[in-house]
Amino acid sequence: MNEKVYEKAILVGCQLEEDDQRFHYSMTELEALTDTAQAEVVATLSQKRDRVHPGTYIGKGKVEELVLLVKQFEPDLIILNDELSPSQIRNLSKEIDVRIIDRTQLILDIFAQRARSKEGKLQVELAQLQYLLPRLTGQGTALSRLGGGIGTRGPGETKLESDRRHIRKRIDDIKKQLQSIVEHRERYRDRRKRNKTFQIALVGYTNAGKSTLFNRISIAESYEENQLFATLDPMTRKMILPSGYTALLTDTVGFIQDLPTTLVAAFRSTLEEVREADLLLHVVDSSNPDYKQHEETVEGLLEELEMNHLPQLTVYNKKDEMHADFVPDSSSEKIVLSALEEADRKTLLLRIEEIVKEHMVAYHVLVPAAEGKVLSQLKNDTILTKLDFIEENQEYEIAGYHLQDHPVSGSTKKFKK
């Protein structure tokens, strides 16, 4: 079996604020992103400044230091921890004859690797082209000599930079294709709404363990890996609660700090699934020292996407590896667990079922044994708390909960005890 060949990378960061911890975390995350994109970090260079250098991102002295590091380590690429302007990349490229990419390109590259569905691939290509379009001036030769590698996956390889009109036409074409996919999904969602199924969405920072949990509490096979952005395309599967009631569970793309604006826009439609949810499970990695920052980033993005009004249960995951300084948020409804522990998963499902009941209407009915269709409907579409057969009357006494305005409500009114 062929071993993965890792490119060598030097990371470069510019610290603007006094918050050393946030900057340190941002650089650590850049290293994790670099590893996910299959590159090895051989050196890191950082500088504190009041503002980034308008011409070269870092100051003249640091550029000279970077030139020396390039001679010493002979890297394949340099990754900068912010989104750079076209002129900054161009000026740095004059000083250093190594491929230079920024944080946005790196994230786009990872998304290009991860996209599985047609929609995911189209959204990545759209984000890449929108990023590329304003950066074409004077980049023709630079982009043409890339010859593959990180930051060139997706449309970067096709030398589209030579024709702006072609890119604009392709952007319009992708937007039309995505619109038809969105319309198709809306029709599918409307059907689900008419069928009145309780919908739950998993959200959380990338690598919090959403897919691990998703695979273990639903009937599903989602890609599961200890990497950033292991899941890109949303996936919806059935989830059976302890009472036997079936809900729908959606796994979503991981959130990340400083998500490129092109991606927030591009993946808005991917997260439309979340907007329709009746309950959000916000998964937080309790083993990560920056769990609080992760939680706040997700809450901020939910607010930006106008999804912060939805009912939420915070799931603090990886309790077996919990960080020494971890303290759960006292203001939120929460549960602490390990997605790998069966007993913890059962506790979670029971808690979810209690929340589902809170969003339902209680009923108590007497249904004649001959009403097979009604009995079947109550068993399949409601949470049963009582099911007794009364032999002398040949009828069932049934109690439970159903969703408001569910078609079954007609039957519960008809046979009300």
Question: H-type helices in 74-201, by residue range?
Answer: 86-95, 103-114, 118-132, 140-144, 164-194
Q: Residue 220: what pLDDT?
A: 57
pLDDT of residue 95: 92
pLDDT digits over 325-375, tens only? 898 887 779 999 999 999 999 999 999 999 999 999 999 999 999 999 999
Could you identify the residue written with the tokens 């007794």? 388
Average pLDDT (218-236) is: 59
Q: How confident is the model at residue 400 (pLDDT cuts 50, 70, 90)?
A: very high
For residue range 12-45, list pLDDT tens digits in order: 999 987 778 888 888 998 998 999 889 999 999 9
Question: Distances from the Cα of 369 to the Cαs of 11, 365, 377, 417, in angstroms?
Answer: 71, 12, 13, 15
What pLDDT, in 10s, does the model give residues 301-319? 888 878 888 999 999 999 9
Average pLDDT over the chain, rounded to an integer: 84
Give phi and psi for 388, each to the nearest 5: -120, 140
> Do 407 and 380 form a contact (C-beta atoms < 8 A)?
no
∠ Cα 278 298 282 (to 5°): 45
Q: Write down the pTM of the prediction.
A: 0.78
Q: What are 333's strand-pairing partners?
A: none
Regarding predicted confidence, which is higher, 20 or 376? Answer: 376
Give the confidence band of 136 by pLDDT, cuts at 50, 70, 90: confident
Q: Could you tell me if residue 228 is left (phi over 0), alpha (psi between -120 and 50 degrees) or otherwise beta?
A: beta
φ/ψ region of 43 (left if φ > 0, alpha if ψ in -120 to 50, else beta) reads beta
Average pLDDT over residues 1-10: 76
Return the structure tokens found at 180.
């038809």
Tell me phi and psi for residue 207, to 5 degrees.
70, 20
Q: Which two tokens stand for residue 190?
A: 């409307």
